[in-house]
Structure 1
Amino acid sequence: MARLTILVALVALAIGVSEIDSSADTMKDLTSGFLKVLDECKKELNLPDDIINDFYHYWKEDYSLLKRDTGCAIVCMSKKLELIDTSGKIHHGNAEDFAVKHGAADDVATKLVAILHECENTHDAIEDLCMKALEIAKCFRTNIHQLNWAPKMDVIITEVLTDV
């Protein structure tokens, strides 16, 4: 369940890239939509305020995601956005719809869900849902960087914080 949640969360972070030139804006919209439920999850899970640091630095390839709390936040946000199904797997339809709603072309949304699904399968053996979410998040980030679709997180975080 956690891996699907994580994958869906990551899909939400990266889903809207139809062209490299417009990827930053699309990814910004997707990530902003996903992060809007972070505060709710922080309160619900009693997470520390500094959890935002992992999301701020998420797209930096050399940044290590090591905090279990970050994985738990990803799982929580994915559940709230209905990006995972009752078995904890990525809900492909909802994840694709989320991506399209936030500016992704249909084919891009499908590709992002496929990447998440592949990452989910790669880390299937991890039993701790929060840690599994972290590993899926790292896998997803690597794949998105390989496609040159990674957004600039400082722009995303600034916009999200402005909306709060």
Structure 2
Amino acid sequence: MLVAELEAASRHGVSQSRLLAALGKSMEMCREESQLTKDMLQDWSKLWEKDFDVKHREFGCTLKCMAKNMDIIEDGLVHDGKLMDYISNIHDDHDVSRKSAKVYLDCQSQAADIDDECDRFTQTFRCYKAGLDPIGHSPYSELIRDILNE
């Protein structure tokens, strides 16, 4: 059910409030599962800030869980085609979507030798975040803050 909500919400023309609700639902489910504390959750709003460094493996656990909810994981890794489809559905610029997906997949490859899945997702996110500036991808900081304030 959640996958369908996320897919529907990410389609062009669907209200931001619907996307917000689906992502918020996913985050809450995953926060509990990954044992992300309330203090760590407060840091979530800073996730996309340039100077913020993701230090807690629980962030990676939460991101992994959310990726599972979005049905973009196969065999413990984010699947390239599914990732591209998801990013394309939430970003209007196909070139930026393609570059963003490539940055993520390159980072995922660089972290492939990390055995712990949560640590691997954390490291992949750090790398991905650093790689977005050069391609002009602007993450949804306001959206994350809105999710946390619901």
- How far residue 90 of structure 1 moved from its aligned partner, in angstroms, is 1.7
What TM-score comes out, normalization by structure 1 length? Answer: 0.69
- How far residue 152 of structure 1 moved from its aligned partner, in angstroms, is 6.0
| Residue from 74, 78, 92 that aligns with 1:90 | 78
- Structure 1 residues 118 and 34: CA distance shift in structure 2, 3 A: farther
Cα deviations by residue, 1:24-72 (Å, 9 ceiling, x for unpaired): xxxx99x956554110112233431233233211112221211011111
Note the aligned Cα RMSD (angstroms).
2.5
Match of 2:48 in 1: 59
Q: Partners of 1:100 and 1:36 in 2: how far apart? A: 22
- How far residue 122 of structure 1 moved from its aligned partner, in angstroms, is 1.0
Match of 2:7 in 1: none
Pairs within 5 Å for 1:25-36: 32=20, 34=23, 36=25
- Any stretches of 5+ residues in structure 1 without a counterpart? 1-27
Q: Partners of 1:42 and 1:135 in 2: how far apart? A: 18
What TM-score comes out, normalization by structure 2 length? Answer: 0.74
Larger relative contact order (C-alpha < 8 A, sep ≥ 6)?
A: 1
Match of 1:68 in 2: 57
Match of 2:144 in 1: 157
User: What residue identity is the alignment partner of 1:96?
Assistant: M
- How far residue 133 of structure 1 moved from its aligned partner, in angstroms, is 0.9
Contact 2:76–2:117 (CA under 8 A) maintained in structure 1 = no
| Residue from 64, 67, 75 that aligns with 1:78 | 67
Match of 2:28 in 1: 39
State the percentage of identical aligned residues.
Answer: 23
Cα deviations by residue, 1:113-136 (Å, 9 ceiling, x for unpaired): 111110011111111111111111
Cα deviations by residue, 1:53-97 (Å, 9 ceiling, x for unpaired): 332111122212110111111111111111111x12222222122
- Any stretches of 5+ residues in structure 2 without a counterpart? 1-15
Contact 1:54–1:70 (CA under 8 A) maintained in structure 2 = no
